[in-house]
Amino acid sequence: MLTPRFELTQDDNFVIVEIKTPYVKISDVDFFIGGREFKFFVKPYFLRLNLPGEVIEDGREGAAYDVDKGTFTVKIPKLNVGQEFPDLDMITTLLAPKNKLPAPAGPMIEAASFNSDEIGGGGDADDGDDSSDFDWEIEQVFPHDNLKLSMEEEEKYGFARQKSGILKRRQEELFEIADIQSPESMSLSQIRTARLSSEDLKFDPEHYLADYFDEESIQHILAFRPPWTTGYRQ
């Protein structure tokens, strides 16, 4: 799982969380609000925040997804209206293990119901949802090379890491030629994790065994020599 980039702000009634999750399926999002915890999950992202104050799911919660920015904005109701939550910019504290803060009561998973760009609060989880098997206490690691990036900044890539903003303008073509469609919103370590996950997902053991036992069907491929090899030897 990847820990997404996020930012927190607040007013008297809500803690507002902006979560950078480009190119995800809105209908697959799950989140939980209760006690001092907020949990958010949509493949391949997972975020668990231990907040410095009590929050509650009481019908005021809500969220919206900005397709252009690839950002969820989630409004989390405060249990005590007007309470000031300190240190919302302390990333390592927010990501601290659960045992460092009081455990919340209530159900562990709430499936969010989404309607277009406007998103309601949590609902009953679907029994057939894969999230029911998800380990919500999984250790989350926020890459150090991602700490310096704000929500609006983009990771650079290419020669000497000098390029950015190129791939997001070519999303239609990128879906056909690349396994990672949003490198600009991910750190180098997150890109590597996403690449390995994609490779594991696409590996087909039956295809591998077929190639191993049926060599004749691929001999012409193995014997092929591109024209530049001859020119190189000359």
pLDDT value for 203:
86
How many CB atoms neighbour CB 88 within 10 A? 20
Which 3 state secondary structure label does DSSP give 144? helix
Of 29-43, 119-133, 172-186, the range with the highest mean pLDDT is 29-43
Number of separate helices (H) and strands (E) present in the chain = 6, 8
Mean pLDDT, rounded, of the chain: 76
Closest CA to 78 of 58, 99, 101, 95: 58
Please check the confidence at residue 103 and state whether its pLDDT lies above 70. Answer: no
Contact 35, 108 (CB under 8 A): no
Higher pLDDT, 190 or 225: 225
Please check the confidence at residue 146 and state whether its pLDDT lies above 60. Answer: no
Contact 154, 161 (CB under 8 A): no
CATH for the 5-95 domain, from 2.60.40.740, 3.40.50.620, 3.40.190.10, 2.60.40.790: 2.60.40.790
Domain ranges within the chain, ordered by starting residue: 5-95, 159-208
DSSP class of 171: H
pLDDT value for 105:
42
